[in-house]
Amino acid sequence: MSACPFCGIAASRAAAPIFAEDGETLAFADLTPQAPLHALGIPKRHIEHFGSLKARDGELLGRLAQTAQRVAEQAGLGTRGDRVVCKIGPDAGNSVAHLHLACSVAGNSPGQRARRRAPTSLVAGSVTTSP
């Protein structure tokens, strides 16, 4: 395979704090976080981007969404301004061509800034997912 950094993490050739893992997906801390909590959920199998998904990948996409959801729930993130983003290509700000969902705390209101300091409940390895 390529020098894809996310494939390296999925294959344990590169280190990253792991938040959640199942047989087909993995969530880990972004190594260049843009927020106090910035986790990335990936399929372990290399899929370049959202547009590369095939019809047979529907179950995998559901598992990926569940993994991202569990990380967000464990971190205490909710529905008040946190975000899950899937970028496609460099013009969207995506720097790694491996499908991923980025989960982070969003916003700059005073309440959101206070909450950005709050998600301390998420500790690498503390989230479990079903196989």
Catalytic residues: 100
28 lies in the binding site for Zn ion (CB under 5 A)? no
10 Å Cβ neighbour count for 110?
A: 8
53 lies in the binding site for Zn ion (CB under 5 A)? no
The C-alpha angle 65, 75, 87, rounded to 5 degrees, equals 40
CA distance 14 to 131: 23
Q: Which residues contact 114 (CB under 8 A, 6 or more apart)?
A: none
Q: Residue 27 class from Cβ within 10 Å (0-12 exposed, 13-18 middle, 19+ buried)?
A: buried
* Contact positions with Zn ion (CB under 5 A) in 83-112: 98
- Nearest approach, Cβ of residue 7 and Zn ion (Å): 3
- Nearest approach, Cβ of residue 123 and Zn ion (Å): 26
Point out which span in 4-12, 57-65, 73-81, 116-124 binds Zn ion (CB under 5 A): 4-12
46 lies in the binding site for Zn ion (CB under 5 A)? yes
- Nearest approach, Cβ of residue 20 and Zn ion (Å): 18
Residues that bind Zn ion (CB under 5 A): 4, 6-7, 46, 98
